[in-house]
Amino acid sequence: MFKKILFVAFLVISFLEVEAQVYEYRIVTSIESVVPMGLGRSRIISNQEDKDYMEYTSSRTVESKKQNKSKRKEAKVDDFDETKILNFYSATGINFQNIASNDALLSSKVNTMIEQGWELSFVTSGVESDAGKGDGTGIFITRFIFKRIKA
């Protein structure tokens, strides 16, 4: 009986300890151009400066129609990492070597983040692709969302 009580107490304490953890999050974004012949700008971007979103947020209610007067340029971060990667297309079409090269660079970034104590939590992506003849623009964007226990 004592062992059962001890085991239940251990489980409860473990659960409370896990619930008490506070996480911090970091987002890394890859932007891969689908513009052919190297004309696009593909990058891996990660911020090195934190911003408080509340400084750029206003709340509107039925009673208060106050508009947000913060300046967009004040929201910009000056400290960020920018890693050049390759475009999906070359002059002849899809370039699989470029895709493999981007995968190698993205893997390196993810592995570095994990070595620094970050855990990959979510990955989300979207695309705005070439709409056909005469368009010639498009990007493939992926956001890697990492978390780690806040110190």
Per-residue burial over 24-45, b = 16 or more CB atoms within 10 Å of its CB, e = otherwise: eebebebbbbbbbeeebebebe
Q: Is the pLDDT of residue 6 over 80?
A: no
Domain boundaries, the chain: 32-49+67-151
Residue 41 contacts by C-beta under 8 Å, 6 or more apart in sequence? 31, 33
pTM here?
0.77
Other Cβ atoms closer than 10 A to 12: 10
Average pLDDT for residues 3-20, to the nearest whole number? 65
The residue with tokens 């070439």 is 130
Compute the average pLDDT of residues 73-82: 90
Q: In angstroms, rounded to a whole number, what is the distance separating the alpha carbons of residues 124 and 49? A: 22
Alpha-carbon span 27 to 148, nearest angstrom: 12
**Residue 146 burial (CB < 10 Å; 0-12/13-18/19+)?**
buried
For 103-143, how does the pLDDT look when each residue is reduced to its tens digit (9 = 90+)?
A: 999 999 999 999 999 999 999 999 887 666 766 677 889 99
